Amino acid sequence: MNKNLKRIASVIMTVAMVSTAMIGCGNSTSQASGGAASGKTKLTLWHIQTSTAADAIKASVKRFMEKNPQYEVEVVDQVNDSYKQKLAMAMSSNQTPDVFIQWGGSGLIDYVNSNKIADLTDLMKKDNYKDKFIDAGINQCSYNGKIYAVPVENVSVAGFFYNKDVFEEYGIQEPKTISELEAACDKLKANGVTPFALANATKWTGSMYYMYLATRFGGLNAFADAASGKGKFENPAFEFAGNKIQDWVKKGYFIDGFNGMDDDSGQARQALYKGDAAMDLMGSWFTGTVLGENPDFMSKLGFFQFPALDGSKEDQSLCAGTVGDNLYSISETCKDKEGAFKLIQSLLDDQALQDRKKLGKIIPLKDFKPDDALTQKILDTVNKAKGVQLWYDQYLPAEVAEVHKSTCQEIFGLTKTPQDADKELQSAMDAYKAKNK
């Protein structure tokens, strides 16, 4: 009898253990299918905004749910760093969030070819909604003539942010040409100030210098041709960029130990705030970061476009960056695409526009008017530009982009010659092309 009791107990224990495992599995599937029991349509939204910008999204979503009580929206704040991997994981298991952000470029092409992203062309054309956005923004959301996203967040172009106090102290004007920039750097160096703050363990930060120098030398075509296979990365434009960077590194223009520093944890910004370094080449989200992190510094913050290359025949107004930054898309598996589209639109309702303007964002709308002079200056730079070079690491296919970032870091570290780096990048591109014919 006693033995039987024990046996029964052991069976119960086992069932309990196994079933907890089952409950674990059950939960994750029910999350994916949405809480249909409550009678509401559930939508999930993934974004990567932080602090006040994330609050703005939350507020928009709250207004959306009040106006459309049939929806229940789950907002998930993701971290920039691991976002792409998480999204890929969700896509591979068909649990793609209904609304998610992406950056266009090769990522968008991959999502379209894998049939994971919804075609929004008809929804965008309804009531001429797409005409509200500036054309470059819509271009970035499009592939093969179809629109797959809404450029909600920000016009982000890279440019030099600088500490006005430092420039004033040494009587330096905003440089218009690269030779003026170098003269300014030498002057700063002579006075014990490091010209450029850079945290290049992050890699895409150094890529901005490379990208701008190559664009100033070879225009948009040098890169577009190399990426499409019409041209090559072993090209004077990229060699110029690499040589210039190494020249600047040797002259000590960058802060000490930049290749070991991390931009996400603000190691470069610290140097700029303290006045140890004078300039930081960064995307225009920089104003938002400073606003959130060190608002007192805003009054000292200046901006100028990456200077022109003396004597170059190429267009020197070009910007590097993205028009829209985070593009909001809808998953192919979303059950209520119209509802999801309405949700995206709610992120740009009148109240949201006010909220976002306060955060220093430049929303890619044709009639957008910023409140402060700094943002206006960035917007003017974009409006003057004849074209925008999309970030190399978004434009290139992921595996080639990784090679670019790594070789570019080695150019900065003086452990690879520009020629070898370009050769390596070209062979990565060739290998990718050979595989994906």
Partner 1 sequence: MQSQTNSLAKRRAASTRNAAIIFLVPAFLFLIIYIAYPIVYSFNLSCYNWNGFASNKVFVGFNNWKELIGDDVFRKAFLNNVIIMVLSIIVQLPIGIALATFLDFGGKKLNVFKVIWFIPMLMSSVAIGYLFKYALDASSGIVTGISKAFGGHSIDLLGNPKTALLTITVAICWQFIPFYMVYFLAAYSSIPSDLYEAAIIDGAKKSQYFWKIALPLMKPAIKSAIVLSMVGSLKYFDLIYVMTGGGPGTASELMATYMYKNAFLSQRMGYGSAIASGMFILITIISLITIKALNRKED
Using the minimum distance from each CB to partner 1, give the nearer residue, 230 or 435: 435
- CA-based torsion, 424, 430, 434, 437: positive or negative: positive
Dihedrals phi, psi of 201, to nearest 5 degrees: -65, -25
How many whole angstroms separate alpha carbon 195 and alpha carbon 206? 14
Smallest distance, Å, CB 17 to partner 1? Answer: 5
Least separation in angstroms between residue 160's CB and partner 1 is 19
Structure tokens at 67: 């106006």
Which candidate, 252, 249, 232, places its Cα nearest to that of 428? 232
Looking at the Cβ atoms of 352 and 428, the one nearer to partner 1 is: 428
Show Cβ contacts of residue 172 under 8 Å, excluding neighbours closer than 6 positions. Answer: 166, 184, 187, 188, 278
Least distance from partner 1 to the Cβ atom of residue 422, Å? 15
Smallest separation (angstroms) from partner 1 to the CB of 296: 20
Closest to partner 1 by CB, 8 or 298:
8
Is the CB of 94 or the CB of 376 nearer to partner 1?
94
Q: Encoding tokens for residue 426?
A: 């070209």
Q: How far is the CB of 316 from partner 1 (least distance, A)?
A: 31
Q: Which is nearer to partner 1, 284 or 409 (CB)?
A: 409
- Strand (E) positions, 86-216? 99-102, 142-143, 146-147, 150-151, 154-163, 194-196
Q: Which is closer to partner 1, CB of 249 or CB of 319?
A: 249
For residues 408 and 215, what is the distance between their CA atoms, to the nearest angstrom?
Answer: 15
Q: Closest separation between CB of residue 8 and partner 1, Å?
A: 12
Phi-psi region of 238 (alpha: psi -120 to 50; beta: other; left: phi over 0): alpha
- Distance (Å) of CA 168 to CA 46, 162, 364: 43, 11, 33
Q: How far is the CB of 402 from partner 1 (least distance, A)?
A: 5
Q: Kind and range of the H or E element at 278?
A: strand 277-283
- Cα–Cα dist 166/385, whole Å: 28
Residues that bind partner 1 in the complex, under the rule CB under 8 A = 3, 7, 10-11, 14, 17-18, 21, 84-85, 87-89, 91-92, 110-111, 113-116, 200-201, 203, 255-262, 265, 267, 270-271, 276, 398-399, 401-402, 406-407, 409-410, 413, 415-416, 435
- Cβ of residue 229: shortest distance to partner 1, in angstroms? 19
CB crowding 358-372: b at 16 or more within 10 Å, else e? ebbbbbbeeebebee
Instruction: Output the smallest distance, CB 357 to partner 1, in A.
Output: 34
120 neighbors 65 (Cβ within 8 angstroms):
no
Q: Which C-beta is closer to partner 1: that of 16 or that of 37?
A: 16
Please enumerate in sequence order all residues whose Cβ is within 8 A of that of 132, keeping only pairs 6 or more positions apart, or say none: 365, 366, 367
Q: Measured from the CB atom, is 62 or 251 closer to partner 1? A: 251
State which residue, 327 or 352, has the beta carbon closest to partner 1.
327
